Structure 1
Amino acid sequence: MLKIWMRRWGPAILMMAVIFIFSAHPSSELPGFGIWDYMVKKGGHALGYGLLALAYWRGFGQERGKKLPAWGLAICYAITDEVHQAFVPGRNPSGLDVLLFDNLGALLGLLVWEHIAKRRQEP
């Protein structure tokens, strides 16, 4: 029973840990990407929350009606992550990150995966 649960929810737990670890680093320890810094970091938000939403959906058993709860959980985690960043030196919580980058990343992750799944089913 635990093995089945871990197979379904393990990826979500792993993604939450990865996001937490990345956001726990003080800003002085974060690498810079020059003129691409903003795009790389915000793209990282979108990618991370896209993968997290997919991992939550997997945890729910990949049922069609469970994409909305998977997206909602990803946004809830994004909110808690921004609160967490308020306690990390040099980091600030950003509602824009949640509303735009994390939200769109989670949504796009689920939509792209759905598109790929449909294409696989076509003869």
Structure 2
Amino acid sequence: MPTRLLKIPRAYWWPALLILAIFAASSTPRLATPDLGFQFSKDKLAHFLVFGLVATAILRTPWLRRRRCRDLITAVVITSAYGCCDEFRQSLTPGRSVEVADWIADTLGAIVAVSAYARWHLYRRILEWRATAPRTSKRA
């Protein structure tokens, strides 16, 4: 069984790891965040950015990589559905509350990030940058 798990392409690991990190963070009664003096905006901005990253990671999977309109919508729907489920699950965590505004920020972040990834070449190039040189095949 563990060897089958390792055969899953790395592109599928990123969305899963991000979702697990969100799950772990939203499971804590109090999430430690720096006080910048504007709580409402900071919280919504965090939701917007994190769920935008999740949507982009989902869109980069081989299943949706062609960036057709259907692929963009699928990435947004999956991300929005997870945001909704996460908000509901927070209602079961002592000290946490459900906010529709958080879910709206999650969904808007997904829409903006997926749109930017699909249409903005520089954004796509930055996200797909490799730290190592691509492998070349040597033929004799």
TM-score (norm 1): 0.83
Higher Cα radius of gyration: 2
Q: How many residues align?
A: 119
Question: What residue is the counterpart of 1:6 in the other structure?
Answer: 9
Aligned-residue Cα RMSD (Å) equals: 2.3
The separation in 2 between residues aligned to 1:24 and 1:61, in whole angstroms, is 29
Question: Which structure is richer in relative contact order (CA contacts within 8 A, separation 6 or more)?
Answer: 1
Given the superposition, is the C-alpha separation of residues 69 and 4 from structure 1 closer, same or farther in structure 2, using an over 3 Å criterion?
Answer: farther
Q: What is the aligned-residue identity percentage?
A: 25
Partner amino acid, structure 2, of 1:94? E
The separation in 1 between residues aligned to 2:11 and 2:124, in whole angstroms, is 22
Given the superposition, is the C-alpha separation of residues 30 and 89 from structure 1 closer, same or farther in structure 2, using an over 3 Å criterion?
Answer: farther
Partner amino acid, structure 1, of 2:75? A
Given the superposition, is the C-alpha separation of residues 117 and 88 from structure 1 closer, same or farther in structure 2, using an over 3 Å criterion?
Answer: same
Cα deviation for residue 25 of structure 1 reads 1.4
Given the superposition, is the C-alpha separation of residues 45 and 120 from structure 1 closer, same or farther in structure 2, using an over 3 Å criterion?
Answer: closer
Cα deviation for residue 118 of structure 1 reads 6.7
TM-score (norm 2): 0.74
Given the superposition, is the C-alpha separation of residues 8 and 32 from structure 1 closer, same or farther in structure 2, using an over 3 Å criterion?
Answer: closer
Cα deviation for residue 16 of structure 1 reads 0.2
The answer for unaligned runs of 5 or more in structure 2 is 126-140
Structure 1 runs (4+) deviating above 4 angstroms are 1-4, 118-121
